[in-house]
Chain A
Amino acid sequence: MNKEELLSRLKVIVSNYTQNKEALDSINEDTDFLKDLKINSANLVDVVLDVEEEFGIEIDNLSMEKMLNVRAAVEIIETKLHEAGRE
């Protein structure tokens, strides 16, 4: 899976939890889930649970704590897919 495809699948997930359409339209690696997309901590958990389902991976507590922006999320998803041998 290339980064572009990964990002577009992530964007679909995130779109369910943000009201900030402007920030969503211009989503990039620097987009912060809390500051830019105004996602609260409870919905951030939902984003992570949806990521697990969408990509068939398991996110541990340590990774969850780091998933605060798009760059970190993409890196973690790539790492988990790699570990599962399905990059």
Chain B
Amino acid sequence: MMNKQEILEKLPYSAPFLFVDDLLTIDENGATGTYTFNKDLDFYKGHFKDHPVTPGVILTETMAQIGMVCLGIYLSGYIDSGASSHVMLTSTAIDFMKPVFPGEKVTVVSEKVYFRFKKLHCKVEMKNEAGEVVCKGTLSGMVTTKLNG
């Protein structure tokens, strides 16, 4: 069975598009991890002019990388330890409750709803350091052995 470090190494991202610092827990039912938004990240220069706030798409991506991609890699390794697997995002439904400012550390918790026929559907939630929910919803992806669909 894959451990947390092996999963992090299998992630197909690097800076400036890696949004996982730590994987705290992972098992067949879900994953928990953290990420700190460095205040120097490039998108803060333009989102918004003079008022940096983390874009919703980046929050969604962060939830997808921690909550769905890490979990998908774990689950596919759990079932078939053959070819290396990636998870292609296929749908999102996210509600945003609070802004995330530069420098904030967030925790993502995901819960598997189902993983069948290579499709992973999960509930995800992101909290800030005060423990407040900043966004939550559902994400789906297909486990694939190629990155370009």
A71 to nearest B CB, angstroms? 20
Q: Find chain A residues with CB under 8 A from B118 CB.
A: 45
A49 to B113, CA, bound (A): 13
Is A40 located at the chain interface by the 8 A CB criterion? yes
Q: Is the CB of B117 within 8 A of A48?
A: yes
Q: Which residue of B lies closest to A64 (CB)?
A: B117
Q: Which residue of A lies closest to B144 (CB)?
A: A41
Q: Find chain A residues with CB under 8 A from B140 CB.
A: 42
Chain A CB within 10 Å, residue with most, of B114, B119, B140, B141 = B119
A41 to B114, CA, bound (A): 16
B141 to nearest A CB, angstroms? 8
Q: Which residue of A lies closest to B91 (CB)?
A: A42
Please report the total number of B residues contacting A with Cβ < 8 Å: 10
A41 to B120, CA, bound (A): 12
**In the complex, chain B residues 89-110 whose Cβ is within 8 Å of any chain A Cβ:** 90-91
Please report the total number of A residues contacting B with Cβ < 8 Å: 10
Is A26 located at the chain interface by the 8 A CB criterion? no
Q: Find chain B residues with CB under 8 A from A41 CB.
A: 90, 142
Chain B CB within 10 Å, residue with most, of A40, A42, A48, A64 = A42
- Contact A49:B90 (CB < 8 A) given known A41-B142, A42-B140: no
Q: Is the CB of B90 within 8 A of A61?
A: no
**In the complex, chain A residues 13-47 whose Cβ is within 8 Å of any chain B Cβ:** 40-43, 45-46
Q: Find chain B residues with CB under 8 A from A61 CB.
A: 117
Measured CB to CB, the residues of B under 8 A from A are 90-91, 114, 116-119, 140-142
A-B pairs with lowest CB-CB distance, top 9: A42-B90, A45-B119, A45-B117, A64-B117, A42-B142, A42-B119, A41-B142, A42-B140, A48-B117
A-B contact pairs, 21 of them (CB 8 A): A40-B90, A41-B90, A41-B142, A42-B90, A42-B91, A42-B119, A42-B140, A42-B141, A42-B142, A43-B90, A45-B116, A45-B117, A45-B118, A45-B119, A45-B142, A46-B119, A48-B117, A49-B114, A49-B116, A61-B117, A64-B117
Measured CB to CB, the residues of A under 8 A from B are 40-43, 45-46, 48-49, 61, 64
